Structure 1
Amino acid sequence: MINQGWIYLTVLALLLVVLNAVFVASEFSLIKLRYSHFNDALLEELRKVWRFKRILFRVDRTLRFIRLVLMCITLLLGVTLVALLNRVVVHWGIVVEFPEAALLFIVAFFGTVSVQHVIGHLVPRGIALQHPVEVLQATTWIVWPLLLVSFPLMRIFDPLSRTFLRILRLDPDVSLNQLDLEQQVRSLDEDDAVPDFTQRVFKNVISMRDLVVQDVMLPRNQIQYFNIFDGNAINVKLSKSAGHTRYPLCEGDLDNCIGIIHIKDIFRSSVDVQRLDFKKMARPVVYVGPDDLLEQVLEKLLDMRLHMALVQDEFGGTVGAITMENIVEVLVGNIQDEFDSETE
């Protein structure tokens, strides 16, 4: 005769697995909606629904709550399986001593891991990444009420975690956004429909947020510039040998730059080169700092429709230059045109 306790424990274990799958699906649907090229109009429609609005308004907090619940479910499932296996061995009349007890815990551990990984993680993860909207709509009814109930606990746990991080001299304001984004990037590796080049560019875009100007800039000793005191003929001769399209126009050296000369402006002019006024032709020069974020510099160049900026240190000296090509090479790799040699 089946013991009634077995039924309760078995049902509880199954419910925990299902609940784990629900929260895993909700987690990955949120990540998918947050970081993929998604239908913005549909996402705005979701935000208008009261139960979605609170979840989507603070996705980072929702994800922290989901991970807390998943940890609790895993612990409860392990305890439940241990109790269930204990009832089995007692029913069979096996005396549980040290070797048997150790084996019991090992079986419970691997059983929990296997069930959680396959049914409670891999399957709902795959469903959520392919159908994020439908999954979020289906799981919100469970996630949203529990999120409201757990709000007081999160208000306690968050300050505690920040305190411990400060004790360890770590930044307490680091968000989980980067981890969530990395998870989305890793999911690209499993998608055969996404070409390798696209995956590499996407990963480079994510890693660019950690780069600053001095990581990719052209150092001062490699910058070729026009010296206004040398005369137009010498400067044009330099441009022919160097092969670039833009040159800083300087009075003596790079610390006294008065503008940027575009070589097209010279050759488009109907005036003889010797009579050209390079000062009037020069375009404005933009300065950035060596520690400026590369993302911000890229945005600045795009907004100002410029291709080059000089890098200036805190003392006002020019330490290098950065071009749009330098930044693009961070994303797609080395760029060579028909005029570049293999050694450059």
Structure 2
Amino acid sequence: MREGLAELLLGGAAAMLSFVANMTFVSISYAVAAVRFENADAKEKAQLSKFELRLIEKSKKVGIFAALGARFFLMVATFAFVCASYGVLKLCDAEMGSNTALKIVAFSILITLFLQYIFCDLPSACFASQEPVKTIKRHSKFFSIFYYAVFPFEIVARKVSEKFFGKRISEDDASFDHIDVLVKLRTEEEEGDELSPYAKKIVRNSIRLNELEISDVMIPRNQVQFFDISDTVSENLKIAAKYGHTRYPICDGNLDNCLGIVRIKDIFRVLENGEEVDLMKIKRGIVKVKYEEPLIDALKKLRRNELHMAVVEDEFGGIIGVLTLDGILEEIVGKIKDDIIDLSNAISKIGKNTYKVAGLAAIHNVEDFLNVDFDNDEVSTFGGLITNILGRFPEEGEKIQIMSPRMNITVEKVGLRKIDECKIELLSQSGEEEK
């Protein structure tokens, strides 16, 4: 009898302490993410100590150790409920067989998860998101104790995992960034309007940047146009007139001898002042990146150096292409058309669920206007989308039905190898025109 009471009290106390500890890890994860998303102003951040500010800077480590702590104390709470349940049975003089033990374990797992979610996860996440600075100050000491106690275990576990899965498993650069993004998305969903399909597509593509390398986005060497220092300015300007880019690498003979980047508007500025153009005087610096580098790291380098272009090296130092800021942006928003054309009336509503769309209308503008997602990153214009779907150039008056999103498209006007105008009828999921 006394033994059962002791098990009940000890188990209950251990479960309560485990829940309190778990609240610390849930709270500090959400609080650090909230501060990183600037939910705290500079005045509030000034209240934090150096150690607490370092927690925010090392947020990916916080994510790792918070996850370890939450799992550990969840197991402790489950074991504590098993002990408390045995104590209750002993107090009731109930028979305890093997089936009883299995039922107790199953019950303890379920009740632990249920109580953890209700009394720890939900309130902790809510308070931490609203009061991130207070949360960090309240829980940082306990978290730091756990951090230093578990640090050796984490190192050993990572080394063992590395043996089985290779060295990439030890690279934790993006571990917490995903948590940050998910927390932000959840906040936006709770506080704002529902995102449009095109906005959701941008968010998905932004998250996908973590998975891309420079080689996935770069312009290959054989497609790169550059200015040659040995050519005259007029010869180099002919290249600019032909290809229409705003920036060109300036090289001595070939791309391996890249000396910098020249902007077209800098050339025009010199010409406007009546001065002689010296490409070496107006060139800007160049950043070199390795082709196997993560794309997100290259983006940081471009931003840090305030550049729009970098040359890409292979493992031997040879130049195999260039990376542009526009190329990275296209991975997020889709293909961007360079042509400067007045498309102010490219999309217009002409009836109920019926729209007129210019062939040169940008895909992302059509998606945003119609609140749809074509799920096609290979083309930049609506006319290009139609040609891509058909696999050929369409005829005037040709009708096309696509299933995702459901719509009927009529090609109303075509020009010389280009689609001028189309009509779109949006359909419901059943295939009929929406009412």
- Shorter chain as normaliser: what TM range? 0.7 to 0.9
The residue aligned with 1:220 is 221
- The equivalences for 1:282-293 within 5 A come to 283-284=283-284, 286=286, 288-291=288-291, 292-293=293-294
Structure 1 Cα separation of the partners of residues 151 and 234 of structure 2: 71
1:183 is matched by which residue type in structure 2? I
Of 40, 46, 54 in structure 1, the residue corresponding to residue 48 of structure 2 is 46
Structure 1 Cα separation of the partners of residues 29 and 67 of structure 2: 11
The residue aligned with 2:74 is 74
The residue aligned with 1:115 is 115
Secondary structure in structure 1 of the residue aligned to 2:174: helix
Which runs of 5 or more residues in structure 1 are unaligned?
none
2:28 is matched by which residue type in structure 1? E
The residue aligned with 1:178 is 174
Structure 2 Cα separation of the partners of residues 99 and 15 of structure 1: 27
Structure 2 Cα separation of the partners of residues 314 and 270 of structure 1: 43
Structure 2 Cα separation of the partners of residues 107 and 116 of structure 1: 14
Note if 1:35 corresponds to 2:31: no
Structure 2 Cα separation of the partners of residues 323 and 172 of structure 1: 27
Compared with structure 1, are the counterparts of its residues 198 and 17 closer, same or farther at alpha carbon in structure 2 (3 Å cutoff)? Answer: farther
* Counterpart contact for 2:256–2:318, Cα < 8 Å: yes
Q: In the TM superposition, what is the alpha-carbon distance from 1:219 to its structure 2 partner?
A: 1.0
Q: In the TM superposition, what is the alpha-carbon distance from 1:135 to its structure 2 partner?
A: 2.5
Structure 2 Cα separation of the partners of residues 174 and 130 of structure 1: 33
Secondary structure in structure 1 of the residue aligned to 2:17: helix
Q: In the TM superposition, what is the alpha-carbon distance from 1:119 to its structure 2 partner?
A: 1.6
1:22 is matched by which residue type in structure 2? M
Structure 2 Cα separation of the partners of residues 93 and 160 of structure 1: 45
The residue aligned with 2:128 is 128
The residue aligned with 1:311 is 312
The residue aligned with 1:15 is 16
Q: Answer 1 or 2: which has greater helix percent.
A: 1
Structure 2 Cα separation of the partners of residues 318 and 59 of structure 1: 35
Secondary structure in structure 1 of the residue aligned to 2:312: strand
Q: In the TM superposition, what is the alpha-carbon distance from 1:86 to its structure 2 partner?
A: 2.8
- The equivalences for 1:183-202 within 5 A come to 183-191=179-187, 192=189, 193=191, 196=195
Structure 2 Cα separation of the partners of residues 211 and 249 of structure 1: 28
Compared with structure 1, are the counterparts of its residues 64 and 264 closer, same or farther at alpha carbon in structure 2 (3 Å cutoff)? Answer: closer
Compared with structure 1, are the counterparts of its residues 4 and 57 closer, same or farther at alpha carbon in structure 2 (3 Å cutoff)? Answer: same
Superposed CA offset, 1:186-235 (max 9, x none): 12232223674777667766654554432211112222345678876665
Structure 2 Cα separation of the partners of residues 112 and 154 of structure 1: 23
1:189 is matched by which residue type in structure 2? L
Q: In the TM superposition, what is the alpha-carbon distance from 1:84 to its structure 2 partner?
A: 2.8
1:242 is matched by which residue type in structure 2? Y
Structure 1 Cα separation of the partners of residues 21 and 53 of structure 2: 23
Structure 1 Cα separation of the partners of residues 289 and 140 of structure 2: 46
The residue aligned with 2:423 is none
Compared with structure 1, are the counterparts of its residues 100 and 44 closer, same or farther at alpha carbon in structure 2 (3 Å cutoff)? Answer: same
Structure 1 Cα separation of the partners of residues 294 and 64 of structure 2: 28
Of 160, 165, 174 in structure 2, the residue corresponding to residue 164 of structure 1 is 160
Structure 2 Cα separation of the partners of residues 260 and 64 of structure 1: 41
Structure 1 Cα separation of the partners of residues 49 and 304 of structure 2: 31
Instruction: Give the TM-score taking structure 2 as reference length.
Output: 0.59
Compared with structure 1, are the counterparts of its residues 300 and 242 closer, same or farther at alpha carbon in structure 2 (3 Å cutoff)? Answer: same
Structure 1 Cα separation of the partners of residues 211 and 169 of structure 2: 16
Superposed CA offset, 1:262-306 (max 9, x none): 43355552699xx97675676256352443554554455445554
Compared with structure 1, are the counterparts of its residues 171 and 118 closer, same or farther at alpha carbon in structure 2 (3 Å cutoff)? Answer: farther
Q: In the TM superposition, what is the alpha-carbon distance from 1:244 to its structure 2 partner?
A: 1.8
Structure 2 Cα separation of the partners of residues 186 and 132 of structure 1: 16
Compared with structure 1, are the counterparts of its residues 223 and 5 closer, same or farther at alpha carbon in structure 2 (3 Å cutoff)? Answer: same
* Counterpart contact for 2:26–2:70, Cα < 8 Å: no
The total of aligned residue pairs comes to 336
Query: What is the root-mean-square deviation in Å for CA atoms of aligned residues?
Result: 4.5
2:180 is matched by which residue type in structure 1? Q
Give the share of equivalent positions with the same residue, in percent: 24
* Counterpart contact for 2:7–2:87, Cα < 8 Å: yes
Structure 1 Cα separation of the partners of residues 47 and 117 of structure 2: 33
The residue aligned with 1:244 is 245
Compared with structure 1, are the counterparts of its residues 239 and 59 closer, same or farther at alpha carbon in structure 2 (3 Å cutoff)? Answer: closer
Structure 2 Cα separation of the partners of residues 57 and 232 of structure 1: 48
Compared with structure 1, are the counterparts of its residues 94 and 137 closer, same or farther at alpha carbon in structure 2 (3 Å cutoff)? Answer: same
Secondary structure in structure 2 of the residue aligned to 1:322: strand
2:216 is matched by which residue type in structure 1? D
The residue aligned with 1:326 is 327
1:329 is matched by which residue type in structure 2? E
Higher relative CO (CA 8 A, sep ≥ 6), structure 1 or 2?
Answer: 1
Q: In the TM superposition, what is the alpha-carbon distance from 1:338 to its structure 2 partner?
A: 3.9
Range that drifts further, 182-191 or 221-230 = 221-230
Superposed CA offset, 1:36-67 (max 9, x none): 2243443342206x9x5897797777766655
The residue aligned with 1:101 is 101
Q: In the TM superposition, what is the alpha-carbon distance from 1:110 to its structure 2 partner?
A: 1.1
Structure 1 Cα separation of the partners of residues 246 and 55 of structure 2: 51
Which runs of 5 or more residues in structure 2 are unaligned?
342-359, 361-380, 386-435
2:177 is matched by which residue type in structure 1? L
